[in-house]
């Protein structure tokens, strides 16, 4: 597996693997901010992320990890916040502060809430029911399915109420003669694409890849997902590559029986 080059020779290196939802979320932000970077592919199947060399770089032993000219950052949400703070204030987005607004505490609170919801609830439920049983010796239990559908219902309701509020504002503006041209966006923290969208998008893509039917009752999530695909086809290409990787491994599970994972139980391979 070789490294992939994005644009001109970069100083940023992203350590990740093809089907990592958090890694793909970071890639979406790098692409959106037009930041040159290089991917260093981590051999997940053979446990490179908890090898001595990797742990020397990042002792948590998880991916993705960002190396920005020697600054090592783990945890995808922390990476995304860092990229938006450092690189989102300059360049092509210098006049567009909506991605991660610096001077709007109300909007930042909504963004931070969505990220916190992602970390503490949504991603956890997706991993417990879908991703961990794909790679490790965990069952897909009914209890975890119920927890996941509960998280989906909460997410869907956030989107519904948010859309309702946006529609109300638009109607009020139209009645006052101050309506802006064009329709409003439909994103997780309001009418603009923000740093809260990529993490929740990729966790949702994991569900699309493995069990699309579980999303069918949640129409607002489906609407948000479709809106993203239509408004950001270039970024969707990055997400789709990760989705396809997850779909492949869901149908063709990795054999990691040779590993001694420090946390997760591995399934026994055919020869064990």
Q: Residue 171 has what pLDDT?
A: 75
Q: Residue 73 has what pLDDT?
A: 98
| Selection from 63, 89, 100 nearest residue 202 by Cα | 63
User: What average pLDDT does the segment 58-69 reach?
Assistant: 97
Query: Where are the chain's structural domains?
Result: 4-251
Q: Residue 271 has what pLDDT?
A: 37
The span from the CA of 255 to the CA of 265, in Å, is 12
pLDDT digits (tens, 9 = 90+) for 160-179: 999 898 888 777 766 776 65
Q: Indicate if the pLDDT at residue 4 is higher than 60.
A: no
Q: Residue 184 has what pLDDT?
A: 67
Q: Residue 185 has what pLDDT?
A: 78
Q: Indicate if the pLDDT at residue 7 is higher than 50.
A: no
User: What average pLDDT does the segment 92-112 reach?
Assistant: 83
In CATH, the architecture of 4-251 is Up-down Bundle (1.20)
Q: Residue 90 has what pLDDT?
A: 66
Q: Residue 99 has what pLDDT?
A: 94
In whole numbers, what is the pLDDT of the chain averaged over residues?
89
Per DSSP bridges, beta strands 12-16 and 37-41 are parallel
Q: Indicate if the pLDDT at residue 18 is higher than 60.
A: yes
- What are the phi and psi torsion angles at 16 (to 5°)? -160, -175
Q: Label residue 6 by pLDDT band (50, 70, 90).
A: very low
Per DSSP bridges, beta strands 65-68 and 37-41 are unpaired
Q: Residue 111 has what pLDDT?
A: 97
Dihedral-angle region of residue 37 (phi above 0 means left; psi in -120 to 50 means alpha; beta otherwise) = beta
CB-based contact 80:29 (threshold 8 Å): yes
Instruction: Find the range with the poorest average confidence among 4-8, 32-36, 100-104, 225-229.
Output: 4-8
How far lies 118's CA from each of 81, 153, 202, in Å?
A: 14, 13, 11
Q: Label residue 270 by pLDDT band (50, 70, 90).
A: very low
- Percentage, residues of the chain above pLDDT 90: 76
> DSSP assignment, residue 16?
E
Q: Give alpha helix (H) positions in the chain.
A: 21-32, 52-57, 76-87, 105-117, 123-126, 132-135, 142-176, 197-210, 219-231, 233-251
């Amino acid at each position: 597996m070789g490294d992939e080059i994005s644009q001109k020779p970069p100083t940023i290196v992203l350590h990740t693997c093809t089907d990592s939802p958090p890694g793909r979320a970071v890639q979406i932000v790098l692409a959106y901010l037009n930041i040159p970077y290089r991917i260093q592919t981590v051999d997940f199947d053979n446990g490179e992320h908890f090898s001595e060399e990797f742990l020397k770089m990042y002792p948590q032993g998880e991916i993705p990890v960002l190396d920005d000219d020697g600054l090592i950052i783990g945890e995808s949400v922390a990476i995304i916040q860092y990229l938006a703070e450092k690189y989102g204030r300059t360049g092509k987005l210098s006049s567009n502060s909506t991605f991660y607004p610096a001077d709007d505490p109300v909007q930042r609170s909504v963004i931070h809430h969505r990220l916190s919801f992602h970390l503490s609830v949504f991603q956890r439920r997706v991993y417990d029911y879908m991703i961990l049983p794909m790679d490790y010796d965990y069952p897909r239990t009914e209890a975890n399915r119920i927890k996941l559908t509960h998280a989906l219902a909460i997410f869907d309701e956030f989107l519904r109420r948010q859309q309702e509020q946006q529609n109300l504002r638009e109607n009020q503006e139209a009645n006052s003669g101050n309506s802006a041209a064009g329709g409003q966006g439909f994103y997780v923290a309001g009418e603009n694409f923000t740093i809260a969208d990529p993490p929740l998008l990729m966790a949702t893509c994991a569900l699309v890849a493995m069990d699309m039917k579980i999303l069918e009752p949640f129409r607002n999530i489906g609407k948000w997902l479709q809106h993203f695909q239509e408004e950001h086809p270039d970024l969707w290409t990055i997400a789709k590559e990760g989705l396809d990787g997850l779909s492949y491994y869901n149908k063709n599970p990795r054999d990691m029986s040779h590993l001694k994972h420090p946390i997760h139980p591995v399934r026994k391979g055919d020869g064990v």
